[in-house]
A and B are shown apart, each in its own frame.
Chain A
Amino acid sequence: MEFLESVFVAPFVEMWNYPAFLAELILVGLSTGVLYSLVALGFVLIFKASGMFNFAQGAMVLFAALTLVGLMEQGLPLWAALILSVAVMVALAFLVERFMLRHLVNQDGLILFMATIGLNYILEGSGQLFWGSDVKRLEVGIPDQPFDLGPILLNTFDITAAGIGAVLVVTLAIFFQKTSMGRALRAVADDHQAALSVGIPLKTIWITVWTIAGIVALVAGIVWGAKAGVQFSLSLIALKALPVLILGGFTSVPGAIIGGLIIGVGEKVAEGFWGPAFGGAIENWFAYMLALVFLVFRPQGLFGEKIIERV
């Protein structure tokens, strides 16, 4: 009885009594949500372009961040390290296309997915091999000042992160809507061999998309790393991106954003108000349970495309 009360009554009472706390949780959740969205964006890109769910996206975030920090630790100024890191991600895109994607043309989705799991491990292992596996601090000059907005505590870092996310999203949206690349990408996502046979340069498209995804990963890595330090657990964020994509739809850029925000806010609010009833740490699984519920009732997510099966 007490448990039921703590689940269905107490949290709402709490929210009513402490609106400032709720608002704070929402804002913190939004800022985490932006970070999730940034990672999810990379997933959406690759999925849109190749029908492949890139499990290695999280490792790419880690790899990109490690490269940046590693280079800066070697004494390079920020701007040089940034340029070099981008170059590294471009090189990575080339390598992935050359040694992996090219050989898996038109393979089953499951096989592609598992290949990216393999890639994930390769990136994790080599990133830490080159740059070491201890936690690293990342200073890129993002202002990190707490300030008050009325009764609510905010932080310039979070605002900046949100801003970066917004810029990235708008850029990507324009890219997909306005350029011929966008159309070609959708063809590729549908059927690799058919796209090849109508002359769409598969190789170029893949390299382009993976490069963009790599840069998105770098941005995400910078923001995450500046906030929480660059460390191995960064690659586990990839797993969190899955519920984000389920909510938002695998093929939707705005969906990745909204999904990320919902998951970010949902997690924090759930932990803050329902956590005590469950003994805490429900953040670990809340996102997945939410995704599960979505899967049962609306598999294509909020913005994804509905799939009609034909025989």
Chain B
Amino acid sequence: MFYREAGQFKTTYAADQAVFPILQDKIAVLLAVAVAYAVPLFADEYWLQAILIQLLVFALMAIGLNILMGYAGQISLGTGAFAAVGAYACYKLTTNIEGMNIVVAILLSGGVAAAVGVLFGLPSLRIKGFYLAVATLAAQFFILWLFNKVGWFYNDNPSGTITAPPRELFGIAVTGPKATPEARYWLCLTFLVVFAWLAKNLVRGRIGRSWMAIRDMDIAAEIIGIRPLQTKLTAFAISSFYCGVGGALMVFCWLGSAETEAFDLPTVSFPVLFMIIIGGLGSIGGSILGAGFIVLVPIFLTNFPPMIGLEISTALQKHLEEIIFGGLIVFFLIVEPEGIARLWQILREKLRKWPFPY
């Protein structure tokens, strides 16, 4: 009875095409954003540091991968590599250029990642599906090897790790040892909110439709005038941009320092893939939900068993995680390939009728 559209008629196309045409949705989302900003006021440091910032960072990468896979239909197993490019680019920029604003550095790093993404996306003109997955795997292995071997990337630091130098924004430390979790959280949250909104705009406009056309029927799309190479490369570029920004924020705001292992297949590429499958392919909101899910399950597994008196070793927990994730993926693919986002939609449709049965 609360979730009714009755009386909400759209009298202009503009109103019909708004991001959240239903008023209750709009309110809900704005409320959610407000709550998100308020979280640091009552969350403890553990939650911020170990969970929430990670969630924000991975949500960005999930949006990136969803643009490439969910909307444009191009398989990518190289998310980790593109994130790494963003991270290392940001590192080089901030360590080599004095006084570069951190936001500018992050955006530029995203740009570098976008360029690399375009490079590895070039084969997509001739190859599709699993074959393309191999090309992205080539990117994954090669780029991480490069960042390991060539000292220039980590300023010839003997340990091979890159460490985020301290940076301030509006006088508040946002990276480095002095930065509080709250500050880092707010920076990441702002990036997520802004870029999620931009992504939502892109996917409902011309380029979004072109991506989905290529995904659904690429030959027909070409015949009606959509240029496949440009459309696919744009998808790679924007997706890699998001992954690059996510990667930079991962090192600068979450981990503080990292090695190439942080961007490996099992640490980034596969988890992000799971996020968009479970969250919902072709859904921006789903990417965020999926990220939340994947980040929270291990936390749940760590904290819940002791609550009911069970002791689980870390190794056992890891294996359980794998089984649960694998099982969930198969489950979602069978039952609801459009993921949590679709389940959420179904829930809302039921809410519309509530409390009536139909």
Q: In their complex, do chains A and B touch, with some C-beta pair under 8 Å?
A: yes
B293-318 residues with Cβ-Cβ distance < 8 A to A are 315-316, 318
Partner of B145, one of A118, A123, A242, A281: A281
Inter-subunit contact B319/A125 (CB<8 Å): yes
Inter-subunit contact B134/A121 (CB<8 Å): no
Q: How far is the CA of A107 from the CA of B277 in the complex (A)?
A: 15
Residue B354 lies at the interface, judged by CB distance under 8 Å to chain A: no
Q: How far is the CB of A131 from chain B (nearest CB, A)?
A: 11
Residues on B with beta carbons closer than 8 Å to the beta carbon of A311: 219-220, 223
Residue B43 lies at the interface, judged by CB distance under 8 Å to chain A: no
Inter-subunit contact A125/B323 (CB<8 Å): yes
Residue A285 lies at the interface, judged by CB distance under 8 Å to chain B: yes
Residue B330 lies at the interface, judged by CB distance under 8 Å to chain A: yes
Q: What string of 1s and 0s marks CB contacts (under 8 Å) between A260-296 and chain B?
A: 0000000000000000001111101100110110011
Inter-subunit contact B142/A126 (CB<8 Å): no
Known: A100-B334, A285-B145. A128 touches B319 (CB 8 A): yes
A77-114 residues with Cβ-Cβ distance < 8 A to B are 99-100, 103-104, 107, 109-111, 113-114
Inter-subunit contact A119/B319 (CB<8 Å): no
Residues on B with beta carbons closer than 8 Å to the beta carbon of A53: 130
Q: How far is the CB of A51 from chain B (nearest CB, A)?
A: 11
Residues on B with beta carbons closer than 8 Å to the beta carbon of A246: 131, 134
Q: What string of 1s and 0s marks CB contacts (under 8 Å) between B144-156 and chain A?
A: 0100111000000
Q: How far is the CA of A243 from the CA of B140 in the complex (A)?
A: 14
Residue B321 lies at the interface, judged by CB distance under 8 Å to chain A: yes
Q: How far is the CA of A117 from the CA of B322 in the complex (A)?
A: 11
Inter-subunit contact B323/A126 (CB<8 Å): yes
Q: What are 27 residue pairs bridging A and B, where the CB atoms are less than 8 Å apart in the complex?
A: A114-B273, A114-B277, A114-B333, A115-B330, A117-B273, A117-B329, A118-B325, A118-B330, A118-B333, A119-B326, A119-B330, A121-B322, A121-B329, A124-B326, A125-B319, A125-B321, A125-B322, A242-B130, A242-B134, A250-B130, A279-B150, A288-B142, A289-B142, A292-B134, A292-B138, A311-B220, A311-B223
Q: How far is the CA of A243 from the CA of B134 in the complex (A)?
A: 7
Q: How far is the CA of A135 from the CA of B348 in the complex (A)?
A: 50
Residue A142 lies at the interface, judged by CB distance under 8 Å to chain B: no
Residues on A with beta carbons closer than 8 Å to the beta carbon of B138: 285, 288-289, 291-292
Q: What string of 1s and 0s marks CB contacts (under 8 Å) between B245-282 and chain A?
A: 00000000000000000000100001001000100000
Q: What string of 1s and 0s marks CB contacts (under 8 Å) between A117-147 and chain B?
A: 1111111111011000100000000000000
Known: A100-B330, A292-B134. A282 touches B323 (CB 8 A): no
Q: What string of 1s and 0s marks CB contacts (under 8 Å) between B203-221 and chain A?
A: 0000000000000000110
Residue B127 lies at the interface, judged by CB distance under 8 Å to chain A: yes
Q: Whose C-beta in chain A lies nearest to the C-beta of B315? A: A133
Inter-subunit contact B149/A295 (CB<8 Å): no
Q: How far is the CA of A109 from the CA of B75 in the complex (A)?
A: 11
Q: How far is the CA of A311 from the CA of B126 in the complex (A)?
A: 17
Q: How far is the CB of A249 from chain B (nearest CB, A)?
A: 11
- Most chain A beta-carbon contacts within 10 A, residue among B326, B327, B334: B326
Residues on A with beta carbons closer than 8 Å to the beta carbon of B326: 117-125
Inter-subunit contact B135/A295 (CB<8 Å): yes
Q: How far is the CB of B78 from chain A (nearest CB, A)?
A: 10
Q: How far is the CA of A121 from the CA of B297 in the complex (A)?
A: 15
Across the A-B interface, give the 6 residue pairs with the lowest CB-CB distance, nearest first.
Answer: A125-B322, A118-B329, A121-B326, A122-B326, A288-B138, A125-B323
A174-201 residues with Cβ-Cβ distance < 8 A to B are none
Interface size on B, residues (CB 8 A): 44
Q: How far is the CA of A118 from the CA of B337 in the complex (A)?
A: 13
Inter-subunit contact B130/A129 (CB<8 Å): no
Residue A13 lies at the interface, judged by CB distance under 8 Å to chain B: no
Residues on B with beta carbons closer than 8 Å to the beta carbon of A103: 334
Q: How far is the CB of B128 from chain A (nearest CB, A)?
A: 9
Q: What string of 1s and 0s marks CB contacts (under 8 Å) between A293-311 and chain B?
A: 0011001000000000101
Q: How far is the CA of A113 from the CA of B123 in the complex (A)?
A: 20
Inter-subunit contact A104/B142 (CB<8 Å): no
Residue B129 lies at the interface, judged by CB distance under 8 Å to chain A: yes
Inter-subunit contact A299/B322 (CB<8 Å): no
Partner of B127, one of A123, A129, A243, A299: A299
Residues on B with beta carbons closer than 8 Å to the beta carbon of A295: 123, 126-127, 131, 134-135
Inter-subunit contact A104/B333 (CB<8 Å): yes
Residues on A with beta carbons closer than 8 Å to the beta carbon of B219: 309, 311
Residues on B with beta carbons closer than 8 Å to the beta carbon of A133: 315, 319
Residues on B with beta carbons closer than 8 Å to the beta carbon of A281: 145, 148-149
Q: Whose C-beta in chain A lies nearest to the C-beta of B130? A: A53
Residue A168 lies at the interface, judged by CB distance under 8 Å to chain B: no
Q: How far is the CA of A280 from the CA of B129 in the complex (A)?
A: 31
Inter-subunit contact A129/B145 (CB<8 Å): no
B113-146 residues with Cβ-Cβ distance < 8 A to A are 123, 126-127, 129-131, 133-135, 137-138, 141-142, 145
Residues on B with beta carbons closer than 8 Å to the beta carbon of A100: 330, 334
Known: A110-B73, A119-B326, A125-B323. A285 touches B333 (CB 8 A): no
